[in-house]
Structure 1
Amino acid sequence: MNWPWRSSEPEGLLLRLLWLPLAIPAWFFRLGAAADRGGYLRRGPGRRRVDARVISVGSLLVGGSGKTPMASWLAEQMHRRGHKVALLSRGYGGQPDQDVTIVSDGKVLHIGPKQAGDEPVLLAGQVAGVPVIVSRDRGLAALRAISCSGAEVLILDDGFQHHRLHRDLDLLTFDADFGLGNGKVLPRGPLREPLAGMQRADAIIDIGGPVSATVETEIQRFGTGASRFRAHRRPVSLGNLRGDIRVQPSVLRGMKVGMLTGIARPDSLRTTLEALGAVVIAERIFPDHHRYVAKNLRGLADETEVWVTTEKDAGKIMPYWAGAADIRVLGVRLDVEDGDALLEWIEGELGLGRFR
């Protein structure tokens, strides 16, 4: 059912009729989102304020817009520049047993993806020295981060629609490959809120290249006050499920592989593999945030010997489930064009000096 979301072309009569039953739910979703925003006006009294600078990284669209890679990059870079940073996440898909859960103290991973959710565990593995804390109420997570780690800069992963916590900066990501889909609000399309929501953004980061003319038109319409930056995904490593082998992803060139993943936009993995020169001859694709079980991997070796999965997926796959198949884990990071300019802009906006 996701496929019509991708198209920005005008819909024919048949497709409009097929979508008609979702028009009313979409209207209620739009109304609910507006009511939620209205209850927590920007810098208004309804928002919790904490004794730290708060940066939100988010998106107008569901799934796979580069939010978490951007939050990871920002946390790592701010930490390197001498700031005391903590990452806060909703922990979607996790089952925490407390209102606030410390996923990592920056040194040790305390819980796995079943409790914490996929993204927090991924962040904890990528950003050494930065605590990762999960709570449905990001305000409670913020207080815990400040009290336990002395955090002075809090980064909200996927925080653009979380209105309870006051933030000092809102960073909005756009995936250049996906664009805006059909430009409709859930469940009619991939938007979490109307495009006018980008008026709240202090900066917009285009990920994967220049955005399409359609997206650029909407940004010029609603996001003219935002600073603009650009970033690219870069494959950095190819490891195994045990994590004790790591080589350059260039070894995939000319190799026939299978694609094993449960992410929001699996096409992005295929595009990356093909750009590396791999030939994808098999695939097993599951829904985003899929909880793997052994039977999901049965018979992999019968289709092809080598399979490639993402770091997000790998944390939920036991190595012995693979059997005779060789499952490789592709590590991808974000490169921000003129990243120093973005960091200096953030420090200037927040009144922070660089300490290193």
Structure 2
Amino acid sequence: MREPAFWHRPSSLLSQLLAPLGALYGAVSARRLMRKGLRAGVPVICVGNYGLGGVGKTPTVMALAGILRSLGETPVVLSRGYGGRLHGPLQVDAHRHTATEVGDEPLMMARTIPVIVSRQRAAGIAPARALGASVILLDDGFQNPALSKDVSLIVIDADRGLGNKRVFPAGPLRAPLSAQLSRTDALVIVGLGAAADGVAANINARGGLVLRAKLVPDDAPIAALRGRRVYAFAGIGDPARFFRSLRACGIDVAAERAFSDHHPFSQRDITELQEAAARDGLALVTTEKDLARLRNGESLKAFAQAVVPFAVTLAFDDEPALRSFLVERIAQARR
């Protein structure tokens, strides 16, 4: 789904008209947040967000997995597998499964981290532990009460913040902000903007950890695209951020096309992209998440080989503070 533009405007008539529905949805969501979840038997670190849309959860999960491994832990990711048709529980095989089966984000993560997809999250505990998980990284699911969380780490975009701060469908929030803030242990602000400063101040006042982070592009795609004019396309939560990132790296973005998040690329999409790029002599570039969906079928795979994947890594400004926080909270969970 593509986020409505009015979600990110201070006020609009449509948002006001939808506010009663948002209040009803928010009341139900707040009540669900109060339920006690199942204990997994190992520490559970949830990486979530307050609203709908992309904020950088997947790069955050991958960065946390690397840090946990360096601390001697064995992290396993547990995901609902959004966009995939298989309910699981099952371990994602990056060489055998497709995004249509398990979802694009689990498929992308499974290249470097063990990932269990389970539509019912509680059912994913046993297979995760069978893989030797000493810590379960819960990908999304902050508002889902099925599992008890030992750490809830929220990711927020520094430029977009929380939009109009209204609850769905009047705005992007999945539950009233007050109910979510009270269950937040740590906040990761991705980017350099100031739109999340108010939330950061609230978390600080509650004694939570607030961290800044940035998405750092890999050297390989920058080198591959240097001196070339490109056609950038993306079907993620915030395609505009991807296009800005390319330009910030000095890449000449001559054309761009935004698709909805998790967009299932069709042969028509591929043909249109190929023809437009060939007509103007442009190199095609997209995100790793989009490339995961382009590997679905043989015809798409052939196209994917001609597309440059723009890989990024999340880097924390104060990683030592995060490491200390994780060590303390994991030890506390085990006690």
Specify the alignment match of 1:276 in structure 2: 249
- Kept in 1, the 8 Å contact 2:7–2:171? The answer is yes
Matches within 5 A, 1:1-356: 2-7=4-9, 9=10, 11=11, 15-16=12-13, 18-38=14-34, 40=35, 46-96=36-86, 98-104=87-93, 109-125=95-111, 127=112, 130-146=113-129, 148-196=130-178, 197-212=180-195, 215-221=196-202, 224-225=205-206, 226-237=208-219, 247-304=220-277, 305-318=282-295, 320-321=299-300, 326-351=306-331
Q: Supply the distance in 1 between the matched residues of 2:82 and 2:133 (Cα, whole angstroms).
A: 23
Task: Please give the secondary structure, in 2, of the residue aligned with 1:186.
Answer: coil
Cα separation, partners in 2 of 1:25 and 1:254, compared to 1, 3 Å: farther
- Kept in 2, the 8 Å contact 1:307–1:325? The answer is no
Displacement after TM superposition at 1:320 (Å): 4.7
Displacement after TM superposition at 1:348 (Å): 1.4
Q: Supply the distance in 2 between the matched residues of 1:294 and 1:202 (Cα, whole angstroms).
A: 44
Q: Supply the distance in 2 between the matched residues of 1:310 and 1:258 (Cα, whole angstroms).
A: 12
Flag the structure with higher helix content.
2
Q: Supply the distance in 1 between the matched residues of 2:124 and 2:309 (Cα, whole angstroms).
A: 30
Displacement after TM superposition at 1:339 (Å): 1.3
Task: Letter of the 1:123 partner, please give it.
Answer: M
Displacement after TM superposition at 1:84 (Å): 1.5
Task: Letter of the 2:90 partner, please give it.
Answer: T
Normalization by structure 2: what TM-score? 0.88
Q: Give deviations 1:211-237, integer Å, cap 9, x for gaps.
A: 33xx32244346622111111001115
Displacement after TM superposition at 1:207 (Å): 0.8
Normalization by structure 1: what TM-score? 0.84
RMSD over equivalenced CA pairs, Å: 2.2
Q: Supply the distance in 1 between the matched residues of 2:6 and 2:144 (Cα, whole angstroms).
A: 27
The 10-residue stretch of structure 1 (315-324 or 52-61) with the greater mean CA deviation from structure 2: 315-324
Displacement after TM superposition at 1:19 (Å): 3.3
Displacement after TM superposition at 1:115 (Å): 1.1
- Kept in 1, the 8 Å contact 2:108–2:288? The answer is yes
Task: Please give the secondary structure, in 2, of the residue aligned with 1:114.
Answer: helix
Q: Supply the distance in 2 between the matched residues of 1:188 and 1:324 (Cα, whole angstroms).
A: 37
Is there any run of 5+ residues in structure 2 with no aligned partner, and where? Answer: none
Task: Letter of the 1:217 partner, please give it.
Answer: G
Q: Give deviations 1:150-200, integer Å, cap 9, x for gaps.
A: 211000011211211011111111110111111111111111112211221
Q: Supply the distance in 1 between the matched residues of 2:304 and 2:136 (Cα, whole angstroms).
A: 43
Cα separation, partners in 2 of 1:248 and 1:217, compared to 1, 3 Å: closer
- Kept in 1, the 8 Å contact 2:32–2:144? The answer is no
Displacement after TM superposition at 1:251 (Å): 4.2
Q: Give deviations 1:34-53, integer Å, cap 9, x for gaps.
A: 12123x1xxxxx31112101
Q: Give deviations 1:38-94, integer Å, cap 9, x for gaps.
A: 3x1xxxxx3111210110111102121111111111012212332111001111111
Percent identity, please: 33
Q: Supply the distance in 2 between the matched residues of 1:86 and 1:324 (Cα, whole angstroms).
A: 28
- Kept in 1, the 8 Å contact 2:294–2:304? The answer is no
Specify the alignment match of 1:240 in structure 2: none
Q: Give deviations 1:116-170, integer Å, cap 9, x for gaps.
A: 1111111112x2xx31001122221122211x21211000011211211011111
Q: Supply the distance in 1 between the matched residues of 2:325 and 2:272 (Cα, whole angstroms).
A: 51
Higher relative contact order (Cα pairs below 8 Å, separated by 6+ residues):
2
Cα separation, partners in 2 of 1:133 and 1:210, compared to 1, 3 Å: same
Task: Please give the secondary structure, in 2, of the residue aligned with 1:61.
Answer: coil
- Kept in 2, the 8 Å contact 1:182–1:189? The answer is yes
The 10-residue stretch of structure 1 (320-329 or 227-236) with the greater mean CA deviation from structure 2: 320-329
- Kept in 2, the 8 Å contact 1:109–1:124? The answer is no
- Kept in 2, the 8 Å contact 1:300–1:325? The answer is no
Is there any run of 5+ residues in structure 1 with no aligned partner, and where? Answer: 41-45, 238-246
Task: Please give the secondary structure, in 2, of the residue aligned with 1:173.
Answer: strand
